[in-house]
């Protein structure tokens, strides 16, 4: 009798560009045709959200809000409403370190535009724009949003991708796909397990050398990760790199932090937390950890030699590359 070999099915994985970055969907245990269809649906979830939430598309709800600033409250579609409410929540929780109304200052520094900025903005220029920043001035009421001062605008770059990943995650589960990984520009959420092991494992890139992995994170099904890094997006003026994350307290790009990864139960929170803790930096993080427990972050300060700081629970899920195990430190609450 001829032996019959059944080839173990390969995991399905496909990448595409969406929401200004690269998305990868990996699906296990489903036939390729079905996986392809589900991935196409995930792609259209991302594309629809981009049309609504992008700062860079003039017809998006978010751009229209900015056009309407200083005018009247405007009714917004559901996704924008939900994301803006979540953004307000994280604005309050972070006491303004995470603030989506920082948009006018983000623009001033030249982030997001194709042309490099002509030079650094002046202190006066920053002061002027800072008058337009403050999440507490944005009014959300009865499904309407109001930016009361002309020139105010919203930038959802620190939350929208995480939100999109959560919607895609829910969609996949709702159609009975259980073992998958969704990655949208470093905003990752996993479900179930991969077909080659018990848990998903995610490599963390070295913020100083993107070609290198500093370690792996073991991610249980359902959990999410997000990374904010100064290497992801930046502007360069006179050979100095300025990170794309602005400290809303002074209107300047954050310095001192090279990378932050947040581990959470959902991708929206992970996205906000990584941006928020990037602003706080190592010292700020240690000071507020007690208040915001349970928060799990990995922080790499912008200094040489590399140090990898992790909250205790995150440390349990992190396997450093052997040559870097001496550089791992536990990040605990310290009072000022
Ligand atoms: P992420 O890569 O998720 O950390 O998000 C960074 C993006 O969020 C930036 O490119 C800006 O669009 C926006 N952003 C910059 N600074 C802040 C801030 N302090 N709070 C909220 N969003 C910010
Ligand atoms: Mg973020």
Please provide the DSSP assignment of 280-314 as one string: HHHHHHHHHHHHH-S-EEEEEESSSS--EEE-HHH
| Segment 213-220 mean pLDDT | 96
Q: What percent of the chain has pLDDT over 70?
A: 90
pLDDT for 234 equals: 59
pLDDT for 2 equals: 45
User: Using an 8 Å Cβ cutoff, are 165 and 53 in contact?
Assistant: no
Using CA atoms, how far apart are residues 64 and 88, in angstroms rounded to an integer?
19
Query: Residue 90 is inside which H or E element, if any?
Result: helix 78-93
78-93 vs 267-292: helix axis angle to the nearest 10? 20
Give the Å distance between the CA of 136 and the centre of ligand 2: 20
| Segment 40-55 mean pLDDT | 97
CB proximity list for 274: less than 8 A, separation 6 or greater = 226, 227, 228, 260, 261, 262, 297
Residue with tokens 């109304």: 101
pLDDT for 289 equals: 84
Give the Å distance between the CA of 226 and the centre of ligand 2: 7
Residue 125 predicted with pLDDT over 90: yes
Give the Å distance between the CA of 76 and the centre of ligand 1: 22
Closest-CA residue, ligand 1 atom 6, reads 158
How many other C-beta atoms lie within 10 A of the C-beta of residue 88?
18
Residue 55 predicted with pLDDT over 50: yes
| Segment 220-246 mean pLDDT | 78
Ligand 1 pocket, mutate which of 234, 244, 259, 269 (most atoms under 8 A from CB): 244
Residue 307 predicted with pLDDT over 50: yes
pLDDT for 280 equals: 96
| Segment 292-302 mean pLDDT | 86
pLDDT for 117 equals: 65
Of ligand 1's listed atoms, the one at least distance from the Cα of 275 is 4
pLDDT for 213 equals: 94
Question: Which is nearest to 98 in space by CA: 239, 292, 236?
Answer: 292
Q: Using a 6 Å CB cutoff, which residues line ligand 1?
A: 98-100, 102, 106, 111, 155, 157-158, 228, 232-233, 244-246, 248, 271, 274-275, 278-279
Using CA atoms, how far apart are residues 87 and 114, in angstroms rounded to an integer?
26
pLDDT for 110 equals: 84
Ligand 1 pocket, mutate which of 155, 226, 258, 277 (most atoms under 8 A from CB): 155
Residue 233 predicted with pLDDT over 60: no
pLDDT for 192 equals: 97
pLDDT for 239 equals: 62
For residue 265, name the pLDDT band (cuts at 50, 70, 90): very high
Ligand 1 pocket, mutate which of 88, 133, 134, 157 (most atoms under 8 A from CB): 157
Q: Which ligand is nearest to the CA of 134?
A: 1
Residue with tokens 């991969």: 194
For the CA atoms of 179, 184, 187, 188, what is the dihedral angle to 10 degrees? Answer: 10
Give the Å distance between the CA of 244 and the centre of ligand 1: 7
- Global pTM value: 0.94
User: Using an 8 Å Cβ cutoff, are 116 and 104 in contact?
Assistant: no
pLDDT for 242 equals: 72
Give the Å distance between the CA of 207 and the centre of ligand 2: 16
For residue 293, name the pLDDT band (cuts at 50, 70, 90): low
**Choice among 42-46, 116-120, 137-141 with the minimum mean pLDDT:** 116-120
Closest-CA residue, ligand 1 atom 8, reads 158
Residue 67 predicted with pLDDT over 90: yes
Ligand 1 pocket, mutate which of 126, 158, 187, 276 (most atoms under 8 A from CB): 158
Give the Å distance between the CA of 40 and the centre of ligand 1: 28
Q: What percent of the chain has pLDDT over 90?
A: 80
The angle at the Cα of 251, spanning 333 to 101, to the nearest 5 degrees, equals 90
Give the Å distance between the CA of 247 and the centre of ligand 2: 14
| Segment 13-38 mean pLDDT | 96
Burial of 239 (0-12, 13-18, 19+ CB in 10 A): exposed
Give the Å distance between the CA of 245 and the centre of ligand 2: 9
Report the chain's mean pLDDT, rounded to a whole number: 91
pLDDT per residue as tens digits for the range 171-212: 999 999 999 999 999 999 999 999 888 899 999 999 888 889
CB proximity list for 124: less than 8 A, separation 6 or greater = none
pLDDT per residue as tens digits for the range 76-86: 999 999 999 99
């Amino acid at each position: 009798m001829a032996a019959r070999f059944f080839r173990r099915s390969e995991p399905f994985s496909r990448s595409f560009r969406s929401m200004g970055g690269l998305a990868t969907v990996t699906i296990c245990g489903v036939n390729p045709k079905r996986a392809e269809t589900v991935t196409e649906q995930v792609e259209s979830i991302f594309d629809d959200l981009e049309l609504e939430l992008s700062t860079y598309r003039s017809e998006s709800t978010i751009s229209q809000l900015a056009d309407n600033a200083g005018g009247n409250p405007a009714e917004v579609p559901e996704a924008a409403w939900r994301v803006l409410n979540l953004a307000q929540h994280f604005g309050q929780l972070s006491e303004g370190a995470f603030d989506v109304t920082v948009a006018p200052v983000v623009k001033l520094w030249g982030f997001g535009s194709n042309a490099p900025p002509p030079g650094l903005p002046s202190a006066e220029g920053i002061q002027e724009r800072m008058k337009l920043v403050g999440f507490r001035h944005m009014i959300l009421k009865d499904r309407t949003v109001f930016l009361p001062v002309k020139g105010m605008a919203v930038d959802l770059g620190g939350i929208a991708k995480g939100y999109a990943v959560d919607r895609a995650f829910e969609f996949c589960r709702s159609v009975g796909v259980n073992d998958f990984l969704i990655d949208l520009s470093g905003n990752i959420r996993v479900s179930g397990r991969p077909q080659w092991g018990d848990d998903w494992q995610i490599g963390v890139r070295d913020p100083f050398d993107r070609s290198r992995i500093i370690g792996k994170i073991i991610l249980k099904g359902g959990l999410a990760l997000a990374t904010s890094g100064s290497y992801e997006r930046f502007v360069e003026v006179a050979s100095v790199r300025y990170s794309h994350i602005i400290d809303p307290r002074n209107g300047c790009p954050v310095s001192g932090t090279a990378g932050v990864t947040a581990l959470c139960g959902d991708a929206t929170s992970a996205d906000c937390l990584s941006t928020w803790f990037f602003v706080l930096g190592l010292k700020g993080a240690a000071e507020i950890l007690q208040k915001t427990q349970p928060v799990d972050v990995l922080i790499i300060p912008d200094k040489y030699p590399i140090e990898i700081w992790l909250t205790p629970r995150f440390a349990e899920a992190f396997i450093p590359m052997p040559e870097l195990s001496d550089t791992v430190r536990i990040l605990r609450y310290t009072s000022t």
